[in-house]
Amino acid sequence: MTMKSMLLAVPAIVASFAMPVHAADQTLNDIVASDHRTATNVARDAHRRPAEVLAFFGLQPDMKVAEIWPGGSGYFAEIIAPYLSDQGEYTAVVATLHATSDYQKNANTALFSKFGKHPEKFAKVKLADINKGEYDFAEAESLDMIFTFRNLHNWMMGGYEAPMLEAFFGALKPGGHLAVVDHRLDGSPYADKQVWGGYVSQAHMIEAIEAAGFKLRSSSEMNANPKDTKDYEKGVWTLPPTYRLRDVDRAKYEAIGESDRATLLFQKQ
């Protein structure tokens, strides 16, 4: 397999196996509280519980980790990468390193700008890409853990979740872990569907991931939101932080908060 990842040039904007624990260590808490994080991301902490989530998944400072599609905000990237910078390795796996659409270009620019502004935190970050038809993002059996936050629904809606998950399986060491958080369809008026409006049934998530060779090891309700009715005109994107309806009923959706989410940890068998 050809390795496509590359060491990030900072500050240039061109193109670091443990069972889960349930308490964040002090280093992780300190990074979450650090002033290198953007105010927009910090404002989401109440909904996303970053230290608790990463501790639940069993992140350790000496791991070799990839985050799939961290997004322009780099919400978890700005926590995971510094945490691994001394002993481990963090790779940001974006949708493409050769963006042609404005959306992709803007997302990459925002993420790489974040890395460039704080070289003391992100100098060791590596970059790779993965998308439909382009799955070669890491050396075989080279990673301890793969994270993906609120992305599985995209691959399911696009019909290419199977090769994505197979690529993750191949990149993980034996016994390595896949950590998944995504919008949960269960309890929706559309619960008879497997995928709808950016939501996915938890059973379908587990079935698809286990079909790729993984085994569910643990799940958590720390990202549950019982106020999420999952019946919105614009699907999950009606809720914060997207607010697809803009100012229409914005106070209502702000009061609901971010989506109800499944939090699942799988292990490569």
Can you give the CATH number for the domain in which 99 is found? 3.40.50.150
pTM, to two decimals: 0.92
Distances in whole angstroms, Cα of residue 217 to Cα of each of 2, 181, 247: 30, 14, 41
Least confident of 9-18, 151-160, 174-183: 9-18
Least confident of 62-66, 98-102, 143-147: 98-102
**pLDDT for position 47:** 95
Residue 223 is assigned to a structural domain of this protein: yes
**pLDDT for position 1:** 41
Position with higher pLDDT, 22 vs 205: 205
Is the Cα torsion angle 256, 181, 91, 134 positive or negative in sign? negative
**pLDDT for position 266:** 98
Residue 226 is assigned to a structural domain of this protein: yes
> Which is nearest to 127 in space by CA: 205, 185, 69, 188?
69
Least confident of 4-8, 77-81, 117-121, 219-223: 4-8
Residue 51 is assigned to a structural domain of this protein: yes
- pLDDT range class, residue 23, cuts 50, 70, 90: confident
pLDDT at 10 exceeding the cut of 90: no
- Which residue range is the domain that position 27 belongs to? 6-268
pLDDT in tens, 112-127: 999 999 999 999 999 9
| For residues 94-122, average pLDDT | 96
CB 266 within 8 A of CB 175: no
Least confident of 14-18, 43-47, 207-211: 14-18
Helix axes of 102-117 and 77-84: crossing angle, nearest 10 degrees? 40
Residue 1 is assigned to a structural domain of this protein: no
191, 267, 261, 234: CA torsion to nearest 10: -60
**pLDDT for position 21:** 44
pLDDT in tens, 38-85: 999 999 999 999 999 999 999 999 999 999 999 999 999 999 999 999
> Which is nearest to 238 in space by CA: 201, 202, 198?
198
- pLDDT range class, residue 24, cuts 50, 70, 90: confident
Residue 189 is assigned to a structural domain of this protein: yes
Residue 222 is assigned to a structural domain of this protein: yes
- State residue 120 phi and psi, 5-degree precision: -65, -20
Residue 53 is assigned to a structural domain of this protein: yes
Number of compact structural domains in the chain:
1
CB 94 within 8 A of CB 111: yes
Least confident of 15-24, 164-173, 197-206: 15-24
